[in-house]
Chain A
């Protein structure tokens, strides 16, 4: 079988699986899988850019995805005018002070000669600056959070169209990636892994605790949508007439229409990123990246600035993850910081990339869809399996109840087994890179 045939068959198989879901369960759940699959595919493309192109080991995907979600809130929610009046300026001034202290410290360090005096001055600047920052910042935060804490209690967003949040999410993630890359790239690969793991936890901690920013664990609900609401469609006589003409139930049809709308938007983004990644892979830049990945010493000897290129591709990949994060929050219509789990948002994306085929963009997309499909469907399958296994057990036995209850945790186990099997027997993935 030729390579093209093989790949088409693989994509066809995954499409078939999703179609099967539509026929056996419902078209609603099939479209849900498609939508999240599209987003997962974009995340996998971002990680593939870092791992497959450049061999960078990033396990902070969750943080970049969460930053994208934050962008969705900051861009699309209406501003809380009372909160801005109460303490907005003070909060901004506080943030500026904090940034100023950091910049001043860096400048002073550059001016001074290395030695113990420089260390002392740095420490004094940082500690003193921290207290000044808190003195300016804290009253502002208190004032903002005191404004109608049950309803808003945060600064709100800019009130712009939510589609604008997608590129902004990419920019936010790129900024975070720049900071982390500056510090950890150029060191050993494991260090980058731990550093990214850490920054993801910190971004999450900030999202959970800084209520003035995005309401923390109180969540932000009701983000504006780029597609119409189901209720509006159901009340629209034109829409109802059209779908009834085809013989569909208006309620089901409206929710499917909305999901199709999202799917269309996501597919456009995926297509753009996929084309860009594909062009990049086959460009001189892509060849250089692969050369660096395969032999850093040789590439450096050829005059390539390895650390700079690594930083570049690290920022690009993280930005793609940020875009996907903003899209996901748009789809959910709410930002729930507690729902971000590293196993689900970082390590699952890794499974997608490895299973799909690292270094191949189509592989990443395929992995995104396939693994997401399994992630969703393993739970009902596991439950069914458990029911079959426990069928001979007496009704009401503790073991049976425990086994049935634990079936939900089968998906982690399955993902681990899939990852290990692929790594062992087909280490280059389903669609290997060249």
Chain B
């Protein structure tokens, strides 16, 4: 039995990747949940909004790399991200003005807005493919590892190595900063409080003199920032491909619903629940169990519960279980 090695192997293959993935999902789910809370519809274009923000960031990153601007050991994309956020903000304001506002004024049913968001999704999807193409793009540069597996082994003398990639570290740190900022904004500032009031009870908020246009605009701006950050972090950690971002829609929505649609805290919890279950269920446990199990009882097979291609199934099954037993989500979201 070798608990230390097992722990290191577990962190290397499960905990660290799941933590990074969970942060990315949580940021995505926060965007979905904010739209749901304030504008009261499920935004199917969110994955493609993420892709758009990331695309702008990538383009600026390339320009910076060509001009020789960089952050040394950190990826240049961090420097380019504010531009991506601005680009994404411009985009969502234009779509809101040109598309969504009409239906908001009409007080159209939420499901109509969902269909409208499908139209926006098509356009954004086409736009992103049109500008940057449908292929994989890698844009991470700088130092690759905070700790590489070999350094870790030399430092500790253990058999197992623990590698932490720079992108994983950045993901978690950025996510913590962004979430802290968001919650500070929602709980402490006047605009944030008016957003929460509007989300809780629209009529009452209007009666107390809250300007709905302003609330909606601020929401879109925050969502654009969240979507871009989530998209850039995901792209740095893995790679950027328009179709993958479209597919992120399912785990992102699953996170938001599992946590309770409309509840920001729930979105974060949901993101981590989905990420950890996806990674643990599709991980081959042979190595970890080999260290923990007593002599002679080590597993022969891979002990992989499901092949990695079924990761969508995992988020979906969790979603179904939550829907069946607690339809408003773990953190009591809204139900319109």
Q: Which residues of A come within 8 Å of B, CB atoms?
A: 55, 57, 59, 130, 183-184, 187-191, 193-195, 197-199, 201-202, 205, 208-209, 342-343, 347, 350-351, 354, 405-406, 409-417, 419-420, 423-424, 427
Compute how far the CA of A251 lies from the CA of B121 in the bound complex, rounded to whole angstroms.
Answer: 43
Q: Quick check: B313 and A423 within 8 Å, CB to CB?
A: no
Contact of A205 among B118, B134, B313 (CB under 8 A): B313
- Most chain B beta-carbon neighbours within 10 Å: one of A187, A208, A409, A424: A409
**Residue B320 at the chain A interface, CB threshold 8 Å:** yes
Compute how far the CA of A208 lies from the CA of B305 in the bound complex, rounded to whole angstroms.
Answer: 17
**Residue B114 at the chain A interface, CB threshold 8 Å:** yes
Q: Quick check: A197 and B102 within 8 Å, CB to CB?
A: no
Given contacts A55-B111, A190-B42, A347-B121, contact A416 B307 (CB under 8 A): no
Contact of B115 among A187, A197, A350, A412 (CB under 8 A): A350
Contact of A194 among B116, B246, B253, B324 (CB under 8 A): B253
Q: Quick check: A189 and B111 within 8 Å, CB to CB?
A: yes
The B121-154 residues at the A interface (CB cut-off 8 A) are 121-127, 129-131, 133-134
Compute how far the CA of A412 lies from the CA of B130 in the bound complex, rounded to whole angstroms.
Answer: 10
Contact of A423 among B119, B123, B133 (CB under 8 A): B119
Compute how far the CA of A406 lies from the CA of B310 in the bound complex, rounded to whole angstroms.
Answer: 32
- Most chain B beta-carbon neighbours within 10 Å: one of A188, A209, A406: A188
**Residue B120 at the chain A interface, CB threshold 8 Å:** yes
Q: Quick check: B316 and A201 within 8 Å, CB to CB?
A: yes
Compute how far the CA of A59 lies from the CA of B261 in the bound complex, rounded to whole angstroms.
Answer: 19
Q: Quick check: B327 and A187 within 8 Å, CB to CB?
A: yes
Contact of B320 among A183, A208, A354, A406 (CB under 8 A): A183
Compute how far the CA of A5 lies from the CA of B125 in the bound complex, rounded to whole angstroms.
Answer: 38
The B85-107 residues at the A interface (CB cut-off 8 A) are 99, 102
Compute how far the CA of A424 lies from the CA of B115 in the bound complex, rounded to whole angstroms.
Answer: 11
Q: Quick check: A406 and B114 within 8 Å, CB to CB?
A: no
Compute how far the CA of A151 lies from the CA of B313 in the bound complex, rounded to whole angstroms.
Answer: 29
In the complex, what residue of chain B is closest to A403 when comparing beta carbons? B130
Q: Quick check: A420 and B123 within 8 Å, CB to CB?
A: yes
**Residue B250 at the chain A interface, CB threshold 8 Å:** yes
**What are 10 A-B pairs with beta-carbon distances under 8 A?**
A194-B253, A194-B319, A197-B249, A205-B313, A410-B126, A411-B126, A416-B119, A416-B123, A423-B112, A427-B112
Compute how far the CA of A188 lies from the CA of B257 in the bound complex, rounded to whole angstroms.
Answer: 12
Q: Quick check: A347 and B122 within 8 Å, CB to CB?
A: yes
In the complex, what residue of chain A is closest to B310 when comparing beta carbons? A205
Compute how far the CA of A189 lies from the CA of B109 in the bound complex, rounded to whole angstroms.
Answer: 11
Other CB < 8 Å A-B pairs besides A59-B44, A416-B121, A423-B112, 15 of them?
A: A184-B320, A184-B323, A188-B336, A189-B110, A194-B254, A195-B319, A198-B254, A410-B130, A412-B129, A413-B130, A416-B125, A419-B118, A419-B119, A420-B116, A420-B119
Q: Quick check: A413 and B309 within 8 Å, CB to CB?
A: no
Q: Quick check: B114 and A420 within 8 Å, CB to CB?
A: no
Q: Kindly list chain B residues whose C-beta atoms are within 8 Å of the C-beta of A354.
A: 115
Chain A binding site: helix, strand, loop or mixed by DSSP? helix
Q: Quick check: B246 and A343 within 8 Å, CB to CB?
A: yes
B307 to chain A, nearest CB (A): 6
**Residue B315 at the chain A interface, CB threshold 8 Å:** yes
Compute how far the CA of A351 lies from the CA of B130 in the bound complex, rounded to whole angstroms.
Answer: 21
In the complex, what residue of chain B is closest to A421 when comparing beta carbons? B119
A317 to chain B, nearest CB (A): 16
- Most chain B beta-carbon neighbours within 10 Å: one of A55, A197, A208: A197
B292 to chain A, nearest CB (A): 18
In the complex, what residue of chain A is closest to B312 when comparing beta carbons? A201
Q: Quick check: A193 and B42 within 8 Å, CB to CB?
A: yes
Given contacts A194-B319, A202-B313, A343-B125, contact A57 B257 (CB under 8 A): no
Q: Quick check: A194 and B122 within 8 Å, CB to CB?
A: no
Q: Kindly list chain A residues whose C-beta atoms are within 8 Å of the C-beta of B309.
A: 205, 208-209
Contact of A190 among B110, B126, B133 (CB under 8 A): B110
Q: Kindly list chain B residues whose C-beta atoms are within 8 Å of the C-beta of A184.
A: 320, 323
Q: Kindly list chain A residues whose C-beta atoms are within 8 Å of the C-beta of B99.
A: 420, 424
Compute how far the CA of A413 lies from the CA of B119 in the bound complex, rounded to whole angstroms.
Answer: 9
Q: Kindly list chain B residues whose C-beta atoms are within 8 Å of the C-beta of A343.
A: 122, 125, 246
**Residue B65 at the chain A interface, CB threshold 8 Å:** no
Given contacts A191-B327, A406-B133, contact A347 B118 (CB under 8 A): yes
B39-59 contact mask (Cβ, 8 Å, vs A): 1 or 0:
001101000000000000000
B150 to chain A, nearest CB (A): 34
Q: Quick check: A195 and B323 within 8 Å, CB to CB?
A: yes
Q: Kindly list chain A residues whose C-beta atoms are within 8 Å of the C-beta of B305.
A: 130
Compute how far the CA of A184 lies from the CA of B305 in the bound complex, rounded to whole angstroms.
Answer: 26
Contact of A406 among B110, B130, B323 (CB under 8 A): B130
B48 to chain A, nearest CB (A): 10
**Residue B244 at the chain A interface, CB threshold 8 Å:** no
The B235-289 residues at the A interface (CB cut-off 8 A) are 246-247, 249-250, 253-254, 257, 261
Given contacts A191-B323, A406-B130, A420-B119, contact A202 B312 (CB under 8 A): yes
B332 to chain A, nearest CB (A): 14
B137 to chain A, nearest CB (A): 14
Q: Kindly list chain A residues whose C-beta atoms are within 8 Å of the C-beta of B335.
A: 188
B284 to chain A, nearest CB (A): 13
In the complex, what residue of chain A is closest to B256 when comparing beta carbons? A194
**What are the 9 A-B residue pairs with the smallest beta carbon separation, nearest first?**
A416-B122, A413-B126, A412-B126, A416-B123, A198-B316, A419-B119, A409-B129, A420-B119, A201-B312
